[in-house]
Structure 1
Amino acid sequence: MGASTNNKPKHTKCSQQEMYAMRPTLTPSYSSVLLLLASLFCISFGFIAYENAKEIVQLEARYDEACKKDGFFTSSLSSSVESLSEEELMHSTGTGTTCTVSLGVAPEYIKAPIYIYYGISSMYQNHRRFVRSRSNEQLMGQTESGSDMCDPKNTVDGEKMNPCGLAAWSTFNDTFAVNVDGQPRAVSDKDISWKGDREFKFANYLPTRVNDDPATRGGKEIEGTVQEDEHFIVWMRTASTKTFRKLWGVIETDIEKGQEITVDVTNLYNSYAFGGEKRVYFSTTTWLGGRNHAFALYNIVVGFLLLISSVLLGILGVVFREKKLPEKRL
């Protein structure tokens, strides 16, 4: 009995669940104050985000048309893309072309790190068939053979693909070489993918039969092991819209104001087959990420809507004097 008594908790309001509680009544006046506070937060944050986005330096250039003029050749066709039929383009694997696109001159001093992105339009990575056509167990090294989920890209000439699926088969394979005032500028691809993806979603094994045959390729060969190829890992993170951009590399040196920036493009990815546009982007970032005026404007618009609602509820609270209810103590 003594031991049982010693183990009893102290008699406090918390242990006996006798804490005072209040259940606020959402009257028009009370709701008006809450909406006013929320509106002030949204409007303030929206203007901060908008000013923050203005600090970001972003340059871009479309290059699929520029490279198209030099011809997009295939292993079986030797004519330029202008003379190819739509059907031939749809089935073109391509040996690639090269072209140089200009991003203009640096409008101001651009402080490193400077991020390089590629952008594609009219490509539905979020389509159900594309999203399902992969084997996460295979990517994590838990099995060597892919499942039927990888269809229609499960095998090549009767041999198993690893990793399999449309996502792995269609990996972006254009490359970029950056020049500043005609001088090459080093671009790093280290840590362009998420650390969690590298450590937990992609195993350290060598791929087999993934775009190693130009006649059947859909995109890039995996360089090294699956875990080492960060361009592949970035591509495998599915985009949510048909127009998207993905990180390709990082320039870790500053660019002076007025310096000319050009990019030598190796044009391999056949966006002509689905009528997609391709772009290259240079961008700096801030604590809120890249340039996103829409995010700031959404906050400002929502803030003003909340402010209007707050005023209307405040008027209702004055016109219809609500009866003040006593607080209940539980």
Structure 2
Amino acid sequence: MSDSVKSKKPANTAFKQQRLKAWQPILTPKTVLPTFFLVGAIFVPLGIGLYIASEKVKELMFDYTDCQSGGTPSAPITNWSWNAANKTCTIDFKVDEAFNPPVFMYYRLTNFYQNHRRYVKSFDAEQLKGSQTTPSGKGLDLCDPLKTPPQGTTVRINGQDVAVSPNAQYYPCGLIANSMFSDEISNLTSISAAQPSGGTYVDYTFTENGISWPSDKDRFKQSTWLDKPDDELLRTLIPPPFWAEAWPEKYAHGYTRDTIPNINTWERFQVWMRTAALPTFRKLWGRNENTALMPGVWRITIRDTFGVQKFGGRKAIVLSTVSLLGGKNPFLGSAYIAVGVISWILGLVFLFRHMIKPRKLGDHTYLSWNQPQQNAGAAPQRMPEVGGERSSLMHR
């Protein structure tokens, strides 16, 4: 073997030889018992603080699923009525105590599985960023089965029905965008609620500005297809099928240049596109940062186009304030209190056991080979021969 070709032996490092320094705690009553009591002393006060902060959050929720079917309303709803002509539900509800700003309005859905694997993947990131994607691109493949409109689809341009272009695509494509929550919720109108100054409220308004995460601004941009002429633009970008059904006055015959949504500023769309992890969830609809919601009876009108019967769910409106820790969540405080109390109980049990029957540390009589009841009847085992010599007999 030449000098240039030499075998390289791996370096015998402490890592490869498993000789790294390590520390293993020796669990004794003097170390374990104080740990249990210390965990309890930390977790119980912290849990009480979290629970109190959660209880300070004021929340009002009412379910309006059965308004369309003529069901009986439940508190805090005092009355509701359904207008079949324009599909609107008018609800009067009672607020018992003042909600100090900021006040948030959410919609709440149950039994809606946004965490389904195929559903979560069903969007084209490049299309949402404004790129001029085509059906042959890999990104749109993730949107199947809502990638492109079926053959024979037409759109109306200048009063004439024309066939869509070869690059026609749903915009936005995919299952998430298509299933967007479509109910239109109005601001609140006062029926009998007074301002602190003695006047009467007319409307309590909510805005969608600031309801989405700032990071979402980078995910959603206006489509660059808008740079194309009207004929090419309107034959290429097609509204999702559910949008055309929920908002027929806008999208039944395709987009116009004025109705193509600007997803960069449409924050309610951005909120919907951030999928929920659990089948029961709430999403932010609007916020009021400046005005208190005073006690009294308020009216809200909802244009009901989002059917929940198809997936066996329910929908509700939630009005809520927040604390330093966010919305109402008593579970977190309860969990901390439970862990602290359990730690105290275990500490007391082990302390009582140690005081009644202490165990001598390092007592070799507890070793397995010193237990006569285990060694009775055990036959000696012969160790295999090593290096031509027979090893001595050993007992278990």
Does the TM-score normalized on the shorter chain lie above 0.5? yes
| Structure 1 position 153 matched with structure 2 position 146 | yes
RMSD: 3.2
In structure 2, what is the equivalent of residue 13 of structure 1?
Answer: none
- Deviations 1:145-179, CA, capped at 9 Å, x for gaps: 44322111111235312321100111111121132
Aligned to 1:66: 67
**Residue identity matched to 1:193:** S
8 A contact 1:109–1:254 mirrored in 2 = no
State whether residues 133 and 150 of structure 1, in contact with CA within 8 Å, keep that contact through their aligned partners in structure 2. Answer: yes
1:129 to 102, 107, 118: 118
Q: Structure 1: how far apart are the matches of 2:115 and 2:179? A: 14
Q: Which residue of 2 aligns with 1:193?
A: 212
| Partner residue in 2 for 1:327 | none
Write the letter of the residue equivalent to 1:238.
T
Change (3 A) 1:218 1:147: farther
Offset of residue 35 of structure 1: 2.7
Q: Which amino acid aligns with 2:92?
A: S
Matched, 1:231 2:260: no
CA contact (8 A) 1:116 1:249 kept: yes
Which residue among 234, 237, 240 is the counterpart of 1:211?
240
Give the secondary-structure state (helix, strand or coil) at the position aligned to 1:248. strand
Report which structure shows greater RCO (CA 8 Å, sep ≥6): 1
After TM superposition, give the deviation of residue 256 of structure 1 in Å.
5.4
**How big is each residue's C-alpha offset from its partner over 1:179-214, in whole Å with a ceiling of 9 and x where there is no partner?**
242422221100100001222x22232783233786
The one of 231, 244, 259 aligned to 2:296: 259
> Residue 118 of structure 1 aligns to a residue in which SS?
strand
Say whether the 8 Å CA contact 1:169–1:218 is kept in structure 2: no
Residues 90-138 of structure 1 deviation map (CA, whole Å, 9 limit, x = unaligned): xxxx996111223312x22211110000001111111112112222233
Deviation string 1:43-81 (CA, Å, 9 cap, x unpaired) is 1121111111221111111112113339xxxxxxxxxx9
Distance change in 2, residues 1:56/1:181 (3 Å)? same
TM-score for the superposition, normalised by structure 2: 0.63
TM alignment of 1:285-304, pairs within 5 A: 285-304=322-341
Separation of aligned partners in 1, 2:247 and 2:276: 18
Alignment partners' CA distance in 2, 1:202 and 1:100: 34
1:29 aligns with 2:11: no
Partner of 1:320: 359
Comparing 95-104 and 283-292, the one that deviates more: 95-104
- Give me the whole-angstrom Cα distance separating, in 2, the residues matched to 1:29 and 1:218: 70
Return closer, same or farther for 1:205/1:39 CA change in 2, 3 Å cut-off. Answer: farther
Instruction: Tell me the amino acid that sits aligned with residue 154 of structure 1.
Output: K
Distance 1:231 1:140 in 2: 17
Question: In 2 relative to 1, CA 244–214 (structure 1 residues): closer, same or farther, beyond 3 Å?
Answer: closer
**Are 2:93 and 1:56 equivalent residues in the alignment?**
no
Cα pair 1:206 1:224 within 8 Å, conserved? no
Q: 1:6 aligns to what? A: none
**4+ aligned runs moved over 4 Å, structure 1:** 21-24, 212-223, 315-318
CA distance in 2, matches of 1:233, 1:288: 23
Give, in whole Å, the separation in 2 of the partners of 1:119 and 1:112. Answer: 21
Q: Quickly say closer, same or farther: Cα 1:316–1:209, change in 2 above 3 A.
A: farther
Q: 1:205 to 1:279 in 2, by over 3 A?
A: same
Q: Is the 8 A contact 2:182 2:246 kept in 1?
A: no
Of the candidates 107, 120, 128, which is equivalent to residue 139 of structure 1? 128
Secondary structure of 1:181's aligned partner:
strand
* Alignment-derived partner of residue 310 in structure 2: 273
Which residue is equivalent to 2:343?
306
Query: Shift of the alpha carbon at 1:278?
Result: 0.8
Q: How many angstroms does 1:257 deviate by?
A: 4.2
Q: Distance in 1 between matches of 2:359 and 2:291?
A: 63
User: For 2:109 and 2:260, how far apart are their aligned partners in 1?
Assistant: 22
CA distance in 2, matches of 1:26, 1:63: 57
Moved more, 275-284 or 251-260: 251-260
Q: Please list every run of 5 or more consecutive structure 2 residues that lacks an aligned counterpart in the other structure.
A: 1-21, 72-81, 152-167, 192-201, 226-236, 252-258, 363-396
Q: Show CA shifts across 1:237-287 (max 9, x none).
A: 111111111000012343354322221111111212222211001000001
Find the aligned partners of 1:234 and 1:57 in 2 and give their Cα distance.
23
Q: Distance in 2 between matches of 1:152 and 1:97?
A: 29
Which residue identity is paired with 1:38?
V
Give structure 1 stretches of 5+ with no counterpart: 1-20, 71-80, 82-93, 324-330
**Residues paired across the two proteins, number:** 281
Residue identity matched to 1:186: T
Identity percentage over the alignment? Answer: 29
Say whether 1:108 aligns with 2:97: yes
In structure 2, the residue matched to 1:164 is 173
Distance 1:217 1:254 in 2: 32
**Contact 2:171-2:240 within 8 A present in 1 as well:** no
Match of 1:16 in 2: none
The separation in 2 between residues aligned to 1:264 and 1:274, in whole angstroms, is 24
Secondary structure of 1:241's aligned partner: coil
In structure 1, how many angstroms separate the alpha carbons of the residues matched to 2:126 and 2:353? 59
